[in-house]
Amino acid sequence: MMFRFQPESVPPEWRRHMLHYSDLAYKASVAKRRGAIGLIVVTGPNAEVKQQLIELEMEAKNTSSSIAAISISDDLASRILAVADKDLARLQQQLDKGEPMQGFAIPGVELAADLAILREINQGRNVIARLTADVPSARSPVIIGAHLDHLGRGEISGSLAREDERGKVHHGADDNASGVAALLESAQYLVDMKKAGKLGSKRDILFAAWSGEELGTLGSNHFVDQFSGGDMLHGKVSAYLNMDMIGHLREKLYLQGTGSSDSWSREIERRNVPVGLAIATKDDPYLPTDSTPFYMKGVPVLNAFTGAHEDYSSPRDRADQLNYQGMQKIARLMAGITRSLARSESEPDYIEATRKQSGLSRKHLRAYLGTIPTYGQDEDTKGVKLQGAVKGGPAEEAGIQNGDLLIGLAGVEVETIHDFMHALGGLKPGEETEMIVIREGKRLTLRVVPTSRD
């Protein structure tokens, strides 16, 4: 029987350090190595969570561990522990101090559980169309794509629905109907051009709508596997352009993955002349979207993105929130780049970049603030620029506003998003701490009480 999370009544540095070991999958593998045949996971009364029981659906998805696990209520755990004269809350208090503690046996208790893993098998379909070169060609095609799946009613994964929105349809207007609409617009534009005899393409162009992106880029992965036959895609795919969330154009369009090829900056500059978008480029080619399976196989990639927002991954991501003129311009730019690549004799060069490790992922974080960082701020700004706070979240309660520049959290100086994640790792739900922001040139200290992410 084990607690979720980690010791919490310890200094923030300890919490940050121990976060890495608090993941349930990690604990399960340690238990298994030590000879456990099963796990009983308990939350405990001190953890301040929303739900005592864990939704195992998500945890079971990507693992094939052979250790059996159940999650039980604090009440049931207390009754089991009572047999050994132990008190759940007291045990948790002791463990929360972070001091090593021996495990103990509970003699005379026998537990039985019926466990069944339901492996749900579903079918998704990629939809792919081909616009052939002017003269049939063996040259590698240019591919442009967008994912067509979303979160359903939020039962799959990754829903950020608020309590009162649970189970409602997640429309996915920005993520990613916007990308699919731009894909169709680009296809129409290029087909019209071909009809008018103005396309001049030396390569085929593939238009791909991917399935299963939200579950982990399943559709694009499948395509890449099939198309590459396990080899690299040099010479088989010239370049891959992706559009994921392009419906909220504000000041700038972010073009990500420019570190994947030296050709991008010149290409973007030229094709943007007739469109005139304000563009910020981002080098890092390791992106959480369908471009990454291509990049991993040696293909230069470019992803168009207009930034995260408060309605992201929730039933509030609706069609009336979209910037349609912006989408049209982005579609035109991406079609222009696609055309230019299809007219070229040569493939753009490919650059292999090393992966930047941020160390902590969101799923390891214990505490929740509900800040919404501005995506793709200027690289020389020291601090994390916020575009606001999630309604009803701790940061909003603390008074965070659109435009605040976060420079400190819980005694940690925040210069980058990585510093911010690092500081978040040290927070304890329910324990007040301070955020330091710059607002209109003035330095403000705000008091904030983080809540539990779970």
Q: Could you list the residues that contact Zn ion (CB under 5 A)?
A: 175-176, 244
Min. distance of Cβ 147 from Zn ion in angstroms? 6
If the CB atoms of residues 175 and 396 are measured against Zn ion, the closer one turns out to be 175
398, with CB counted inside 10 A (0-12, 13-18, 19+), is: buried
Min. distance of Cβ 173 from Zn ion in angstroms? 11
Give the CA distances from residue 16 to residues 175, 308, 426, 428, in Å, rounded to whole numbers and listed in that order: 32, 26, 5, 10
Catalogue the long-range contacts made by 384-390 (C-beta closer than 8 Å, 24 or more residues apart).
384/414, 384/416, 384/417, 384/419, 384/420, 386/437, 387/307, 387/309, 388/310, 390/310
If the CB atoms of residues 48 and 213 are measured against Zn ion, the closer one turns out to be 213
CB 41 within 8 A of CB 2: yes
Q: Helical H runs in 243-398?
A: 264-272, 291-296, 324-343, 394-398
CA dist., res. 336 & res. 21, Å (int): 48
Min. distance of Cβ 153 from Zn ion in angstroms? 17
CA dist., res. 408 & res. 286, Å (int): 28
CA dist., res. 180 & res. 210, Å (int): 9
Min. distance of Cβ 175 from Zn ion in angstroms? 4
If the CB atoms of residues 245 and 409 are measured against Zn ion, the closer one turns out to be 245
Give the CA distances from residue 217 to residues 81, 223, 306, 352, 440, in Å, rounded to whole numbers and listed in that order: 44, 10, 20, 20, 41
If the CB atoms of residues 148 and 341 are measured against Zn ion, the closer one turns out to be 148
CA dist., res. 228 & res. 221, Å (int): 10
Min. distance of Cβ 144 from Zn ion in angstroms? 15
Min. distance of Cβ 326 from Zn ion in angstroms? 17
If the CB atoms of residues 97 and 125 are measured against Zn ion, the closer one turns out to be 125
Look up residue 161 and give its two tokens: 């629905």
Min. distance of Cβ 433 from Zn ion in angstroms? 32
Min. distance of Cβ 426 from Zn ion in angstroms? 30
CB 208 within 8 A of CB 143: yes
If the CB atoms of residues 247 and 408 are measured against Zn ion, the closer one turns out to be 247
If the CB atoms of residues 6 and 176 are measured against Zn ion, the closer one turns out to be 176
CA dist., res. 75 & res. 93, Å (int): 17
Residue found under tokens 């930034």: 307
Residues 6+ apart with CB under 8 A from 107: 83, 84
If the CB atoms of residues 244 and 267 are measured against Zn ion, the closer one turns out to be 244
